[in-house]
Amino acid sequence: MSKLVWDKIGERFYETGVDHCVLFPEASNGTTENGVAWNGITGITEKPSGAESNPVYADNIKYLDLRSAEEYGVSIEALAYPEAFKPCIGLKSIVPGVVVGQQSRKRFGLVWRSRVGNDTLGDDYGYKLHMAWHCGAGTAEIAYKTVNNNPETQTFSWDCTCNTEDPDTEDGELKATASVCLDETTMDEEAKAVLKQLENTLFGTENAEPTMPTIQEVVAMFSALVSTGGSTGG
């Protein structure tokens, strides 16, 4: 038996920051196009909804507690957005410099990293890689303000909902989802090597354009480690 110890040196963890954001616009058949670096991201908030309690009473007691389906969404905040994001928010360029609004909106995939820190290594402890598929951006207010003695940059924000997809695992244990989070700090070396391969695919290399694998492909990459004796930790 061992006594619990709180706040041990090296175990005081926290999460912070957002970087390495990549936009993957979707084609009409649901496949993603080549990725585009998104500069100016100030915040990405995961916004799951649903999973609400629906109690059922019988025999004068709370007999069951059914849960509604859970949905996944993200909120994006940015100082700027890439040209490739315009079709995702209903903007269509008819000639360079002329943009028409209120058009059909394309769905997109989104990838970003968040930093994981601790009390000994700070922000260099590690990171998490987040992936979201089939995102659809809603409308957003844009406020244009006069320049004054307290200058502020123009900011943009969009609430996005995401369509789920079946991960299609062999054992069928996973339900349909729209997101995957990969925590580098809990992975063994074998899993980290697979993560590096995935990042090369997502961020591109000198010889390959950045592309976004499907949910099924990402799950299969790491599920293969279990069948070969590897482990991703967690």
Q: Domain for residue 88, yes or no?
A: yes
Residue 80 domain boundaries? 14-49+76-227
Q: Domain for residue 209, yes or no?
A: yes
Q: Domain for residue 234, yes or no?
A: no
Q: How many domains does the chain have?
A: 1
2 — pLDDT class (breaks 50, 70, 90): confident
C-alpha closest to that of 16 among 157, 130, 123, 124:
123
Q: Domain for residue 57, yes or no?
A: no
Q: Domain for residue 153, yes or no?
A: yes
Q: What distance in Å separates the CA atoms of residue 179 and residue 181, rounded to the nearest whole number?
A: 7
In this prediction, residue 233 carries a pLDDT of 45
232 — pLDDT class (breaks 50, 70, 90): very low
Q: Domain for residue 168, yes or no?
A: yes
What CA–CA distances, in Å, run from 164 to 41, 108, 133, 161, 180? Answer: 24, 13, 8, 10, 11
Q: Domain for residue 1, yes or no?
A: no
Whether residue 110 has pLDDT greater than 90: yes
What CA–CA distances, in Å, run from 43 to 38, 80, 137, 199? Answer: 12, 12, 15, 21
In this prediction, residue 202 carries a pLDDT of 97
pTM attached to this predicted model = 0.89
